[in-house]
Amino acid sequence: MPQSQVRLAANRYGKSRVRVMRVTKHEQHHDLDEWTVQILLTGDFEEAHTVGDNTNILPTDTMKNTVYFVARESKAQSIEDYAKELVNYILTRNPQVTDVQVAIESHLWKRLTIDGKPYPTAFMRGSDERQTTIVSREPGKAFQIRSGFDHLTVLKTAQSGFSGYIKDSLTTLPETTDRLFGTALQADWPYRDNAIAEGIDFNKVRKHLRETMISTFAKHDSLSVQQTLYAMAQAALGHTDIIDEVHMLMPNKHNLLVDMARFGRDNPNHIFVPTDEPHGTIEATVQRA
């Protein structure tokens, strides 16, 4: 049977899950960063696919080493600025590349408290929360930067209910005006081009947007996850003018009320079973009008 006529469409390749631990030593203390880096290249790679010619292929092992080398030379204080350095390093040395995308997750470490004070050179791993960024650039064009955070696990024990929804023959969920509301929040936002060109304190912006969203989550009288998601995004957009949209993913991490009647006791929203699976998935992008 003759081979079908085909052509190569969109393609890219790179190195994923390159892990870096960076220690920055100051006179009185050390700083610690742990990053997981992904590099993806788009460019003139057709002959590598069609005839096995690797002339234009930068080995992914070289990309891994580039992550370490640039980290060694970097003075960046944010994952965004480090990603920009990494993008520029690859672009300036690889004319066959038409786009570089670098995605970074930063894992949280905090100082140990010893004798009531933060210890300068000892740390403990924080929560599963991660700071995130995706930075890309084509030769001769401006950076595109999308930042955020992921796995921010929060829960409130008041000001949350769910009622008035569709009920059919398969509905067993009872209405409630008093439930636990837990989620592992993912949020990200693209920065305006002019803001990137003028310069951004990425760490400061992320911190303030995170605090704004958390504050809204805690204080909001929630009638649904959707309503609280919208309120959190609205508050974030009201906090700064250097972003025009926020994408949010909020799984509804259920806490199921235990039926204590079989034990002859009541359960006034006191004892629950936390469960991750299955969970509700609520996702939306909120933009300026």
Catalytic residues: 15, 60, 254
Q: By C-alpha distance, which of 95, 114, 26, 80 is closest to 188?
A: 80
HSE (side-chain half, CA atoms, 13 Å) at 219: 9
CA 181 to chain centre: 21
CB 272 within 8 A of CB 255: yes
Hey, is 235 helix, strand or coil?
A: helix
Dump strand ranges (E) for 26-76: 30-43
- Strand-pair partners of 124: 110
With CA atoms as reference, report the closest residue to 176 among 220, 217, 219, 224: 224
Alpha-carbon gap, residue 123 to 240, rounded angstroms? 32
Tokens of 57: 């292929």
* Cross-strand partners of 155: 182
- As a whole number of Å, the CA-based R_g of the chain is 24
Which residues are CB-contacts of 191 (< 8 A; sequence separation ≥ 6)? 145, 146, 147, 200, 242, 243
Is-contact 21 10, C-beta < 8 A? Answer: no
Residues forming a β-bridge with 184 = 153
